[in-house]
Structure 1
Amino acid sequence: MSDASQGPVKVPLRNNIRGYGRSVFLFLLPCLAGTALFLGDPQRFESVARYFGAQISENAPPQPVVAEPAAVSTPAPPRSTDIPVRLIEAPEPEVAGQFLRMWRVSGPVICKAFRDAGIETSEWRAPSMRSTSRECYFQRIYRRNDVRPLSSVFLRVKGSASGDIVEIRGKLVDPPMDADGRLDAGHMKIFETLVRQAGWSDFQDALAPIRSLRDFENERFGAYFSFKRDAASPDSYNFMLVVAAGAGPQTRTKAYFSAERWVEAPDPRIAELSVPISQLASKQGAYRQQGVASR
């Protein structure tokens, strides 16, 4: 028997590698050719992609948007608001006198003012021994008959023992007139002195109608001032100035200007100038910090 029939035949390793490589090449060649043909036709590629649910866009994919960090807003500076001094300062008696109808002069003072103006009033005294009131008066009769005065002037200021004025009344009977048909200057001094001593500027409007002997009547803040022709005697004129302390407007105005209802300003400088609210707030904050630090 020969040696070939006694064992397996051995194939060289190099020949096996060549055979395997040739087989792989032959397998990949049709795949590459098919892939080239498939990619060469865009419509086929798109149809296959749609079949598997993919969307193809001819446009380039959008670039990712990078969100910019939000700008930090700078808070606006606090607005400065000025506080008018009239809102925080206590009422002044001179200003209050324009609204609060109260006499700023006493009975003796106004009687002396009439005398200084040429109206010879009496001294401030009691009309009788047992009277608790006080008064001064002036009376001058120019002409009269057996029954009554035909031309005269009468003025009386009445008040209390403490000097408070209660009322001022008077009467003119056929008063003398000037060349223009107006009340003569001597009698006008009564009303000019009266208005000046009262200190109520709105009653200055009464002087013009009184000078022309026209009726005038005004009531403001509890004070009543009138000059009227006497209905019983066409040549007679009655005038009166009364302050009603219990009147509603007088009571409310007096309560408003009462010093007991006003709180004293914490900082004296506030009453001198207008301070911005922002400065007041910063000062209050500084005071609080000082108080905390002291603790």
Structure 2
Amino acid sequence: MRSNRRRLLLLLISVLLLAATAVFFREIRQPETPIGRFEHRALDKAARSPPIAVRPDMAAPPSLAPMPGSLRLIEIPKLELASQFLRMWRMSGSNICSALREAGIEMSEWKAASMRNRSYECYFQRIYERDEIRPLSSTFVKVRGNETGDILEIRAKIIGPKTDAEGRLDPAVLRIFEIIVKQACWRDFEDTLASIQNLRDVESERFGAYLSFTREAGSENNFNFALGLKATSDPQMRTRTYFSTDRWLAAANPPMVPRTSDQPIARNDGAGSSHDPRSSLACG
């Protein structure tokens, strides 16, 4: 019985192998598989189907406008913002000279100190009394800066000033210092005007600026005045460097402004013309 079962099992295995071999060879001979026929039918159906309408909200987004060539990754610092972070002159040298002239002080025009000198200045000098050697009573004021109109320092010297019965400085001379301090818009220095009026020495250095009014050594009746910038701390130096126009490149494509026939051409001669942005800055 066991031998018969073995023969039947071997016969069954042989038949299954022959059947599998026959199916394999038949599939090889067929030129197109069922998958291929399915793909052809799907493509043919797609070709016959009507086109699908595109919804308005699914339309392609409009193309972006071209970026202008003059865009910058970092904007150039604006002068009107500099005073919020840095002690600076709020007006040009030409403007402060004009302010002194408008107050009746005969300051000279803001101009180059000499033909070969790039420094600019305006000054006032009046000698009230002198001997054969030197002035005995005089007032001298100088505003010194550069060709772009930046003020570097303001100095003054008074010799033998007139005073009243209480030893206070003549109001006409005191007016010079009042205008300088107030035009600078540094209100923390306005309290020094009382010392100047009473001809008392005062020296003050506050947040990157200095003011001094001192009696000249060796003379009881000569006084020197100075007002200027002095950025000493690292934060002040870094801030001043950031707002310095010398550190920034000019715009590659500056905007062209149409000019009418009666409109003058803007000049940058350091003379503090009306287009200087510092002329419109008010004390804040």
TM-score (norm 1): 0.52
Question: Aligned partners of 1:185 and 1:93: how far apart in 2?
Answer: 35
- Is the CA contact (8 Å cut-off) linking 1:222 and 1:244 kept in structure 2? yes
Identify the residue that residue 113 of structure 1 maps to in structure 2: 99
Identify the residue that residue 148 of structure 2 maps to in structure 1: 162
After superposition, the C-alpha distances for 1:9-29 in whole angstroms (9 at most, x for unaligned) are: xxxxxxxxxxxxxxxxxxxxx
Question: Does 2:161 align with 1:178?
Answer: no
- Give, in angstroms, the shift of residue 224 of structure 1: 1.1
Identify the residue that residue 87 of structure 2 maps to in structure 1: 101
* Local SS of the residue matching 1:132: strand
Equivalent residues in 2 for 1:13-52 (5 A)? Answer: none
- Is the CA contact (8 Å cut-off) linking 1:97 and 1:199 kept in structure 2? no
Identify the residue that residue 198 of structure 1 maps to in structure 2: 184
TM-score (norm 2): 0.54
- Give, in angstroms, the shift of residue 247 of structure 1: 5.1
Question: Aligned partners of 1:196 and 1:213: how far apart in 2?
Answer: 19
* Local SS of the residue matching 2:111: coil
CA radius of gyration, larger in: 1
Distance 1:146 1:248, change over 3 A: farther
Question: Does 2:226 align with 1:240?
Answer: yes
Identify the residue that residue 201 of structure 2 maps to in structure 1: 215
Question: Aligned partners of 2:243 and 2:109: how far apart in 1?
Answer: 33
* Local SS of the residue matching 2:140: strand
Instruction: Among all aligned residue pairs of Structure 1 and Structure 2, give the percentage whose two residues are the same amino acid.
Output: 58
Question: Aligned partners of 2:189 and 2:235: how far apart in 1?
Answer: 17
Equivalent residues in 2 for 1:35-114 (5 A)? Answer: 97=83, 100-114=86-100
After superposition, the C-alpha distances for 1:81-138 in whole angstroms (9 at most, x for unaligned) are: xxxxxxxxxxx98896376220010000000001111111000011211111100000
Question: Aligned partners of 2:234 and 2:131: how far apart in 1?
Answer: 45
Distance 1:207 1:253, change over 3 A: farther
After superposition, the C-alpha distances for 1:132-179 in whole angstroms (9 at most, x for unaligned) are: 110000000011111110000000000000100001111010101123
Question: Aligned partners of 1:245 and 1:110: how far apart in 2?
Answer: 22
Identify the residue that residue 57 of structure 1 maps to in structure 2: none
Identify the residue that residue 228 of structure 1 maps to in structure 2: 214
Question: Aligned partners of 2:162 and 2:235: how far apart in 1?
Answer: 38
Identify the residue that residue 111 of structure 2 maps to in structure 1: 125
Among 133, 145, 152, which residue is 2:131 paired with?
A: 145
- Give, in angstroms, the shift of residue 250 of structure 1: 2.8
Question: Aligned partners of 1:163 and 1:109: how far apart in 2?
Answer: 9
Unmatched segments (≥5 aa) in structure 2:
1-77, 245-284
- Is the CA contact (8 Å cut-off) linking 1:221 and 1:249 kept in structure 2? no
Q: What is the identity, as a one-letter code, of the residue corresponding to 1:197? A: Q
- Give, in angstroms, the shift of residue 184 of structure 1: 1.0
Question: Aligned partners of 1:208 and 1:99: how far apart in 2?
Answer: 28
Q: How many residues align?
A: 168
Identify the residue that residue 29 of structure 2 maps to in structure 1: none
Question: Aligned partners of 1:163 and 1:255: how far apart in 2?
Answer: 18
After superposition, the C-alpha distances for 1:8-62 in whole angstroms (9 at most, x for unaligned) are: xxxxxxxxxxxxxxxxxxxxxxxxxxxxxxxxxxxxxxxxxxxxxxxxxxxxxxx
- Give, in angstroms, the shift of residue 222 of structure 1: 1.6
Identify the residue that residue 249 of structure 2 maps to in structure 1: none
- Is the CA contact (8 Å cut-off) linking 1:222 and 1:248 kept in structure 2? no
Unmatched segments (≥5 aa) in structure 1:
1-91, 259-295
* Local SS of the residue matching 2:112: coil
Distance 1:232 1:199, change over 3 A: same
> Pairwise CA RMSD of aligned residues?
2.5
Distance 1:212 1:253, change over 3 A: farther
Question: Aligned partners of 1:125 and 1:139: how far apart in 2?
Answer: 16
Q: What is the identity, as a one-letter code, of the residue corresponding to 2:199? A: L
